[in-house]
Amino acid sequence: MKQKTITKVRKRSFTLVEQASHQVRGFSTLYQQLEEKIVLAGMSKSSLGNYGRKLAQVCLHFNQLPQHIDERKLNKYLASLARNSKVPSLSDFKHTVYGLRYCYRLLGMNDKAVKLPQIKRQDKLPVVLNKDECKMLFQKPDLLKHRVLLALIYSAGLRARELCRLKIGDIDSGRMMIHIRQSKYNKDRYVPLSPVILKGLRKYYYSCQPVDYLFNGQQPGTPMSTRGLQWVLRETVKKCKLRKDITLHTLRHTYATHLLEEGMDIVTIKELLGHERIETTMVYLHVAKPNRSKIFSPLDILYRQPIKDNA
């Protein structure tokens, strides 16, 4: 009985990739090929992690490599993933399909990649906070660290991972810029440093004395985890009693929308956000509230012109 318990504990301690490497013949070789291809393509480690985990799940389920799985059985498996999610395009279903598609193309099996289901794009608009909700959110946390980090995400339009990776030296108060290193698409970029947030950062720095990373995790010198960041936001939203569906990315959406409403052009916002394609940024055109002073009816313009006498 004890031996079974120990075996279970050991199994749980393995990652999915490690389990698949031990249990599915040929998976470790496939994973190594995947890793090499992703590194050569200049893709991020998170892409390798997402694809690797999903491929490991599929291989463990069928106890086979993807190229050997029967097409009908695979479709049945994918259908079950889609059914078990309220929003398939943001679920395990999406990442599993992407992982399989990349794997099949890696193996030169384009016909199998084409036969995989298409992922429908969502037409859902992002949730955006108004200015009073933002102020409430940045005032509610008890800890100075939590107040500052939430305000910093909004002030610079940061992704959660970007905030966690920020180092003390990335805050350039001389040039009033923040250096964001190797983010999505392995890109660096600079965003303006708000004078208001700089005051808060200085107060936080002298109070908390972070080491290396701007926001340390449980141990000094280690970065704060995205999970810890999510907990901070979740607890703050509860205190504020806000009814909107708010995530960390909501602050980034709000940053872009507020800039647009204040008159900044869409191309500049694209660069600040670090988007690859302008189409991604253009969604904020549908969210931003237009300047009310500029709203008019074309009929008003029509009758400003003097009426010509045709007689």
Whose tokens are 């999406």? That residue is: 94
Q: Which residues contact 102 (CB under 8 A, 6 or more apart)?
A: 34, 51
243 is catalytic: no
**Residue (of 135, 125, 140, 66) closest to 96 by Cα position:** 66
Catalytic residue among 147, 252, 258, 270: 252
Q: Please report, for residues 20, 61, 126, the alpha-carbon distance to residue 16 in angstroms, rounded to integers and kept in the order given.
A: 6, 11, 32
Catalytic residue among 61, 105, 179, 275: 275
Catalytic residue among 154, 204, 255, 284: 284
Catalytic residue among 184, 189, 190, 205: 184
253 is catalytic: no
Return the ∠ at Cα 48 (arms to 57 and 109), rounded to 5°: 70
121 is catalytic: no
Taking the C-alpha atoms of residue 184 and residue 175, their distance in angstroms, rounded to an integer, is 24
184 is catalytic: yes
249 is catalytic: yes
* DSSP bridge pairs for 189: 180
**Residue (of 61, 55, 59) closest to 25 by Cα position:** 59
Catalytic residue among 94, 101, 159, 258: 159
77 is catalytic: no
Continuous H helices in the chain: 2-13, 16-23, 27-40, 45-62, 71-83, 92-106, 110-115, 131-139, 144-156, 160-165, 195-208, 226-240, 248-261, 266-273, 278-281, 298-302
Q: Which residues are marked as active site?
A: 159, 184, 249, 252, 275, 284
